[in-house]
Amino acid sequence: MEAFYEAWVGREEQLVADLTSAMALQRHATTDAVAPLVDAAVGHVAAYYEHKSGLADRDVVAALDPRWLNPLERTFLWAWGYKPALLFRFVFLDDGGGVAMGSSVAQRRALEELRAATAAAEREVEREVAAVQESLAGPRVLAALRRQAPRRRNSNGEAAEEEDAVAAVGRSLRERTLRGVVGLLAPDQAAAFVVAMMRFHLGVRRAGRGWSSGSGHGGRRGV
């Protein structure tokens, strides 16, 4: 996973560069110049969670111990990934770090409605994750942690079903929120949004490289 993640971050840097160039040329090009790159950025985010889901299928213990993330990156973890509401930080910024504030009243209203719906869904996810974690906190999981071995399905598939539920709830909301925001934005706005989102992650990645793994800032709730 470490090698995949390093390559994935490199691809993210390239996407930021490509989008930034396309946005700079936007006055002399059609919106078709940025739309495919926005789609690529959304797919790029999905690819990370798809790869991590594959790791969980092979070894759930490794998937729940995100050693490929630095300690600063881990402070942003929520339900096995970033908190979906974080995305709205890159929509509503007024300092040039997010989407330009030329949004229509209808668009702003739709974004606010999506933000409210996301917040409500986050609360539900937190309840679901807590319930699943409680059900997993038994002898079976403790034994698996001691062995540091890949997960095993029992005869009725219950273990796999519970663990897949834990991994799926946060991922589903993250993808739905990301695609929902992009779908409400014009291509140039969507480009500014995904660039701000990816630059934020890359900044956290760079800043966290100097953190000590023993600094006390461990990960929260998974990967």
Does 103 fall in a domain?
yes
Does 57 fall in a domain?
yes
pLDDT at 216: 44
- Low pLDDT (below 70) residues in the chain: 27-31, 79-80, 93-103, 129, 132-168, 211-223
Overall domain count for the chain? 1
Alpha helices (runs of H) in the chain, residue ranges in sequence order: 2-24, 35-58, 60-63, 71-74, 105-136, 139-147, 158-184, 187-208
- pTM value is 0.77
Report yes or no: 74 and 220 within 8 Å, Cβ to Cβ.
yes
Does 50 fall in a domain?
yes
DSSP letter for 104, please.
-
Report yes or no: 164 and 135 within 8 Å, Cβ to Cβ.
no
pLDDT at 88: 92
Does 221 fall in a domain?
no
pLDDT at 108: 87
pLDDT at 217: 45
Nearest to 181 by CA among 13, 8, 45, 81: 45
pLDDT at 15: 97
CA 90, CA 139: separation in Å to the nearest integer? 43
Residue range of the domain that includes 7: 1-149+162-211
Does 116 fall in a domain?
yes
Q: In the numeric block, which tokens belong to residue 52?
A: 């991590």
pLDDT at 102: 56
Does 54 fall in a domain?
yes
Does 187 fall in a domain?
yes
pLDDT at 25: 83
Helix (H, G, I), strand (E, B) or coil at 36: helix
| Span 39-98, pLDDT tens digits | 999 999 999 988 988 887 787 777 777 889 988 998 888 766 889 999 999 987 555 555
Q: Give DSSP secondary structure letters for 68-98.
A: TS-HHHHTTB-SSSB-GGGGGGGTS-SSSSS
